[in-house]
Amino acid sequence: MKQVKKISQRTAPLLEELIKYQCKKFHPFHVPGHKGGRGLLPQWQAYLGQGVFSLDLTEIEGLDDLHHPTGPIESAQNLAASLMGAQKAYFLVNGVTAGIHAAIMALCRPGDTIIIPRHAHRSVYEGVMLAGAKPVYLQPEMDENWGMPLGVTPEQAAEAIRTYPQGKALVMVHPTYQGLISDINGIGSIAKEAGIPLIADEAHGAHFKFSPSFPPAALECGAAIAVQGWHKTMGSFTQSGLLLLQDQNLPLKNYLSLLQSTSPSYLLMASLDAQRKQWAEKGSQMAEQILDLSRWFRRKVAQLKGMECLDEESLNTSCCTSFDSSKILLNSADLGLNGYQLAEELRNTYRIQPEMASLKGVLLIVTIGDGKEEIEYLWGALQDLAARFPIRKRKRTSSNFRYQMGKMVLLPGEAMHAPKMRIPLWEAAGYISGEFICPYPPGIPLVVPGEIITREVLDQIDQIKSWGGHIQGPGDASGKILAVLKE
């Protein structure tokens, strides 16, 4: 294995090289066309500042090449790998999605079997389609009170591997959008014993490594590949992330080069380098601040009549082994507000924008960007809101929402290329879908291309829309037309 030169985590080699280059005051006769911001709309330049545009550079001498790094990008990626406990780290500039796609395509060939939980994000299904693979699903347990998937068990993974020993990969969601953790230690051990690489969709869990009070990091639990969205919890720019690799024999690099831009944003990569440095220097301190703020807020909500937060004590299930307390799922049903209504109140009355709304509640995320002032403002808003709505004690209704394993007629990749026609959505029962149907967020498909559309699914779509939810996937912007396979 190639020996990586030791470099102090206190450096940010790519960021420093960009700043050093900018200070040389070159006259740019290369792209990008704004030439350091001089060619832009003045209002745009004034709003963002000159510094942003001066660092928006391209692959010029001394600044390295993401697709063949030998300089500051290579050094920055090596530092990220060292910090996160990986053999290799790759910068992602096309989001976690590109990393998920590359991982699946590197492991699966057309017709190969891949085992995935049915509550995986849409990007996992898209990776399956691009690889031409055959998905085998693990059905997650659902929490009816909160209307969300909880996770899958090691026993389910073991049974799937026994039934499909030819499987080329196993995907795990770690954590779910709401912060729930399946027994990834147990599942990782089972996958390793079977010789099946475990891919962890760790989009929302990059911060786990920095405190034992967070759930365990995927690489520590046997994952061969972990794909992290650093913009979600670590503070880098939106669309940036890391792919962490524990087996350098896997041909990930070639697929990443296929899927990522040949003109990668140096702003995105520099933000990864900068945040890696910050977490290396202050990671434990920042993690404890996140945890302290989350705990304080949960204690306050516990004293507030009419509202409740999801916590580990309320998760009476064997398929969840831990919980990320920085994800706060808030319910206000006793105030007569469903999640969509609560989100609307927070936005319109208090200028608070939640991460997600569902029928059962809103999701709020506490990160390094939050301090006591922000959390106290949120708490004050909830106090005021609770005072404005009288308590309505009533029997809680359970959700009948499910992520069903639909009947697959064609592989998703085959359905993507099959001839299609467009019909009204409400007439689609019995047809084979040519598109995804996903409540968004979180982007988990109700229907995958190649599956038969059922009346139950159409009823669920009507329910979601009536609650105020949004459906993603159909090409028709109105959501009234769906592409189905021709008969």
Separation between Cα atoms, residue 68 and residue 290, nearest integer Å: 37
Q: For the chain, give the percent of residues with pLDDT over 90.
A: 78
Question: What average pLDDT does the structure give for the chain?
Answer: 92
What 59-68 contacts at long range (C-beta under 8 Å, 24+ apart), as own/partner pairs, is 59/263, 60/21, 60/30, 62/17, 62/21, 63/17, 63/18, 63/21, 63/266, 64/14, 64/17, 66/91, 66/93, 66/260, 66/264, 66/269, 67/257, 67/260, 67/262
d(CA 23, CA 56): 14
> Which residues, other chains included, contact 349 with Cβ-Cβ below 8 Å and sequence gap of 6+?
381, 385
State residue 2's pLDDT score.
43
What pLDDT is stored for residue 1 in this prediction? 36
d(CA 134, CA 148): 25
Task: Return the pLDDT at 396.
Answer: 53
Whether 143 contacts 315, CB under 8 Å: yes
Interior CA angle at 374 toward 379 and 278, to 5°?
140
Q: Given this model, what pLDDT does residue 4 score?
A: 43
**Residue 414: strand, helix, or coil:** helix
Q: Contact, 113 vs 166, CB < 8 A?
A: yes
Contacts of 473 (CB under 8 A, 6+ apart): 122, 435, 436, 437, 438, 445, 447
Name every residue whose Cβ is closer than 8 Å to that of residue 336 and which is 6 or more positions away in sequence. Answer: 389, 390, 392
pLDDT of amino acid 6: 57
CB atoms closer than 10 angstroms to residue 457 = 20
Provide the strand spans (E) within 85-235: 88-92, 113-117, 134-138, 141-143, 148-151, 169-173, 180-181, 198-201, 225-228
124: closest CA among 209, 206, 202, 207?
202
Name the 3-class secondary structure at 2: coil
List the one residue out of 388, 100, 68 whose CA is nearest residue 223: 100
Are 413 and 131 a contacting pair, CB within 8 Å? yes
CA 241 to each of CA 11, 38, 85, 268, 427: distance values in angstroms, whole numbers, following the listed order: 19, 30, 16, 9, 40
Element spanning 4, H or E = none
Closest by Cα among 252, 268, 269, 272 to 101: 252
Among 3.40.50.300, 3.40.50.620, 3.10.580.10, 3.40.640.10, name the CATH number for the domain at 13-280. Answer: 3.40.640.10
Which parts of the chain have pLDDT scores under 50?
Answer: 1-4
Closest CA to 155 of 190, 197, 115: 190
Q: Are the C-beta atoms of residues 256 and 241 closer than 8 Å to each other?
A: no
CB atoms within 10 A of CB 83: 18
CATH topology of domain 283-388: Aspartate Aminotransferase, domain 1 (3.90.1150)
352 CB contacts (<8 Å, ≥6 apart)? Answer: 346, 377, 378, 381
Top-tier CATH class for 412-485: alpha beta
Whole-angstrom distance, CA of residue 342 vs CA of residue 350: 11
The structural domains of the chain, with segments of one domain joined by +, span 13-280, 283-388, 412-485
Q: Kindly report the pTM of this predicted structure.
A: 0.94
Cα–Cα dist 273/21, whole Å: 16
CA distance 36 to 285: 36
User: Could you give the CA distance from residue 370 to residue 393 in angstroms, rounded to a whole number?
Assistant: 33
The pLDDT of residue 247: 84
Q: In angstroms, rounded to a whole number, what is the distance separating the alpha carbons of residues 314 and 179?
A: 14
